[in-house]
Chains A and B, each alone.
Chain A
Amino acid sequence: MADVDGNGHSGSPSMLLDGYDASRVYDEVFDANGAVRGAYSRIVERFSELDAAELQRLGELVAGEFRRQGITFTVYSEDEGTERIWPMDLFPRLIAATEWEELARGLSQRVAALNCFLSDLYSGEAAVLADGVVPRWLVVSSRGFERNAMGITVPHGAHCNIAGIDVVRGADGRYQVLEDNLRNPSGISYVIENRAAMAKVCSWLFDDHTVQPTEQYGRMLRSTLESMAPGGSDHARIVVLTPGIFNSAYFEHAFLARSMGVELVEGRDLVVEDHTVYSRTIEGLVKVDVVYRRIDDDFLDPVAFRPDSSLGVPGLLGALRAGTVAVCNALGNGVADDKAVYPYVPDLIRYYLGAEPIIDNVATYTMWDADQRDEALGRLHELVAKPVGESGGYGVLIGPHASEQELQAAREAITAEPREWIVQELVQLSTLPALAEDRLEPRHLDLRPFVLTAERTEVFPGGLTRVAMRRGSLIVNSSQGGGSKDTWVLAPEPP
């Protein structure tokens, strides 16, 4: 076999993409006629130089690298051990510069509107409710609506400092927002580790492209958090608050603390005295200015919330009210990423920003509206039903994949508690090649970009591409067998 590029890659024709069927949905790489889309031409050529055994070997190298480094996530329901090696498929996702620019504008717009909404609810006059843009009952009945957050001043008026917005591409290739994550969006560490692994194992893939880097996230995040410090950003003491080593995202918490060069603390490491937060060091108490918490609202302060939990910091809410500490993300953001509020986000953009949404929602039926409910229940076998209180893909019913018994159970559950469900049109998520045994097959995927907001808003280039590793599956969550891909935002073409 010829060595075509001097890197040991065989030049013999590859069978990897034989039989690849891109005709069913929007494929990121091939158009409906099977022609390669422009950005992917060199990637397809490079992969054509590999055979399945070589690709599997490279995949094993990545898995070995992740295993050695302990890049893991935790699945609570698993019997055998709790840590799993982070799964990554080697075929990267590419986003052209112009496409990314438009997407980033849309994400900034959406987060800006959501921050306006949160400010209006918690620090303003709730005009959005008075004006009937969002029903008052819907907001006050949201589990994420936190009365304890009323009147707390947040730095720069930004309640959501770190957002992860899940976007998908439907059959027409347009991006749509599937879900907002405004409390503790996770996944950024895997974005950066995916890139590091790709650069180690497949460095030759980068030869033909100028890809925007990812290693700057620690600096971006630290700068965002420093700007939130009550006493100014100079010498601000920042901590990352984790529930501990058994949390599913512990790897990410440690990663973020290390990449920012700040302490990773647990609730027991912090103490509040005179409405001021301190960390317990071997030299005594040291004041803390900013807490990047990766603990849900309910566990944040046992005095105000769950008294039976020791994960949080007793008295933290008092310190927050006194303005001696900033907490990222702010308390009560759950109301804005409540799936029941999601259908109103386009209206929020129009209401607060006076603009049309740059990125649309997926068409959604509100189950508390009798007409919409009747229509949706009649077509449930074609639609997707989501419980508003779940995450991670749990409880989602995909109509075309459900049995009649499951559909009937969902209809009954929705009718009994319409506030607890939304129903959406089924989006046939776009596909990208992924290794399935000995060939590349189309697999559905989504994208979670991250938006940072404090003094200004920045969209981190790329995001976490999650991919369903089972044929035909639309569930991309890693806890349910999904994988991930390195996401390349290409640099703008020189003029």
Chain B
Amino acid sequence: MILARHAEALFWAGRYLERAENTSRCLNYAANSITHLRDEEARVEGGLLVKTLGLEEELRAAGPLESRPQLIAFLLSDSDNPGSVVSSVSAVRENLRSVRDRIPIELWEEANGLYLRFPFLGHANDAPKELHEVLLMVRRACLAVSGVLNEGMRRDEGHALMVVGRMLERSIFTVNLLEASCSDPRGALDASRMLRLTSSTQAYHRQHGNAPDFEGVVRYLLHAADLPRSVRSCLSCAEESLNSLASGASALDRPRQRAALVRSRLEFGDVSDGLASAPLQTLSELALELAALAADVQAGIVPPLALAEIHSQYLRPGPADGAAS
């Protein structure tokens, strides 16, 4: 039986691992594509990327991004931005460090190794060639962590929760991307770009030909059963992992039910109809449901009031002591 705190750490390690990879992919795209755009177009496209990554609030706090290097710095190395690559990788490492007694040594070493390569990132902002190499390194390291997770970790609750975290983060990213694309009247993020930003170009071309249409790509990224990055695939995987958790974890019944419901809507239900009639509204609702599912998982692992209840039995109010003994 996994400790609630360990469960939470592994769930978030999974989310941040996926986030690091998503942000790296977006950065890679930004570094290659936006270079050729005029300033105004670059700003629009950069804004859409930020929206896709769910970092609009963080961007508001950071101030307007006037140039491409600023956008890259914000997404790559801004430690105040919890979605930057640096912050995400640090969070993966810190979460795994707090559970390093129960994860495979190789998993910890890969995550630690990725984190330790960060001193080199500080010099990458102004050097596109180096930036590309750094991003490639980050993505390969993320894949190595994923590989150890898949091949080296016992299929226990910790593994299941890390997978749930990854799959939820991935599906949220994909839905955000589709929503950002649909909300942009200028069509800056067209069908080809959506495929590139989800590493799905090759898979789509083999299945549907190499002239992607916008609506077809939206449906593909939502519904494809055989695409690991489609929302349906992610939800199926998350649902399976949630169901693999011991039945004694009744607090996870709610997210199990919600995951099944959302996946069913995608597979059999009204999402498809909604896309035809009101795509933006349908995607917005889907994004909200995914956010609610993530919140349900979090609450199922660590009931929000549990700690306060426990300590209020014994402790009078006072500052918590963070000092080590």
Contact = CB atoms under 8 A, between A and B. Distances in A.
Interface in B104-138: 105, 108-109, 112-113, 116
Contacts of B310: 268, 271, 280, 314
Interface in B294-325: 300-301, 306-307, 310-311, 313-316, 318-325
Given A258-B102, A280-B4, A283-B248, A314 B313 contact: yes
A247 B108 contact: no
Contact of B109 (A69, A253, A282, A303): A69
Contact of B4 (A69, A269, A309): A269
Nearest to B7: A282
A266 B9 CA distance: 13
B4 A282 contact: yes
A264 B101 contact: yes
A337 to B, nearest CB: 15
B94 interface: yes
A268 B98 CA distance: 13
Given A264-B102, A281-B2, A310 B325 contact: no
Contacts of B108: 69-70
A308 B3 contact: no
A68 interface: yes
B114 to A, nearest CB: 11
Nearest to A281: B1
A353 interface: no
A268 to B, nearest CB: 6
A302 interface: yes
B245 A282 contact: yes
User: Which of B94, B245, B300, B322 has most chain A Cβ within 10 Å?
Assistant: B322
Contact of B318 (A253, A255, A308): A308
Given A283-B1, A307-B316, A70 B112 contact: yes
A284 B248 contact: yes
Given A248-B324, A307-B316, A282 B97 contact: no
Contacts of A364: none
Interface string A116-160: 000000000000000000000000000000000000000000000
Contacts of A101: none
A306 interface: yes
Contact of B98 (A245, A258, A295, A309): A245
A286 B2 CA distance: 10
A282 B102 contact: no
A456 B322 CA distance: 37
Interface in A233-278: 240, 243-248, 253-255, 257-258, 263-266, 268-269, 271
A222 to B, nearest CB: 13
Nearest to A282: B249
B51 interface: no
A258 B158 CA distance: 15
A459 B191 CA distance: 68
A298 interface: yes
A82 B311 CA distance: 29
Interface string A24-45: 0000000000000000000000
Contacts of A281: 1-4
Contacts of A283: 1, 246, 248-249
Interface residues of A, number: 45
Nearest to B111: A70
Contacts of B105: 69, 258
A258 B101 contact: yes
Contacts of A268: 5, 307, 310
A279 interface: yes
User: Which of A245, A247, A282 has most chain B Cβ within 10 Å?
Assistant: A282
B314 A314 contact: yes
Contacts of A264: 99, 101-102
Given A283-B248, A308-B319, A315 B1 contact: no
User: Which of A70, A258, A266 has most chain B Cβ within 10 Å?
Assistant: A70
B101 A306 contact: no
Contacts of B157: 282
A200 interface: no
B219 interface: no
A268 B303 CA distance: 13
Contacts of B314: 302-303, 314-315
Contacts of B101: 240, 253-255, 257-258, 263-264
A282 B315 contact: no
A269 B5 contact: yes
A68 B109 contact: yes
A470 B310 CA distance: 49
Given A69-B112, A243-B325, A268-B5, A302 B249 contact: no
Contacts of A253: 101
B286 interface: no
A226 B245 CA distance: 28
A55 interface: no
Nearest to A279: B3
A94 B195 CA distance: 62
A219 interface: no
A302 B315 contact: yes
A179 interface: no
A67 interface: yes
Interface in A452-474: none
B15 to A, nearest CB: 17
Contacts of A76: 324
B100 interface: yes
A245 B108 CA distance: 14
A306 B325 CA distance: 11
Nearest to B103: A258
A425 interface: no
Interface string B251-293: 1100000000000000000000000000000000000000000
Contact of B97 (A70, A257, A280, A303): A70
Contact of A266 (B5, B116, B245): B5
Contact of A310 (B1, B116, B311): B311
15 contacts: A69-B108, A70-B109, A245-B94, A255-B101, A258-B100, A263-B101, A282-B157, A283-B246, A283-B248, A296-B325, A298-B325, A309-B320, A310-B311, A311-B324, A314-B311
Given A271-B310, A282-B251, A308-B320, 17 more contacts: A68-B112, A68-B113, A254-B97, A263-B6, A263-B101, A264-B102, A268-B5, A281-B1, A282-B246, A282-B249, A283-B246, A286-B1, A298-B325, A302-B314, A307-B315, A309-B323, A310-B315
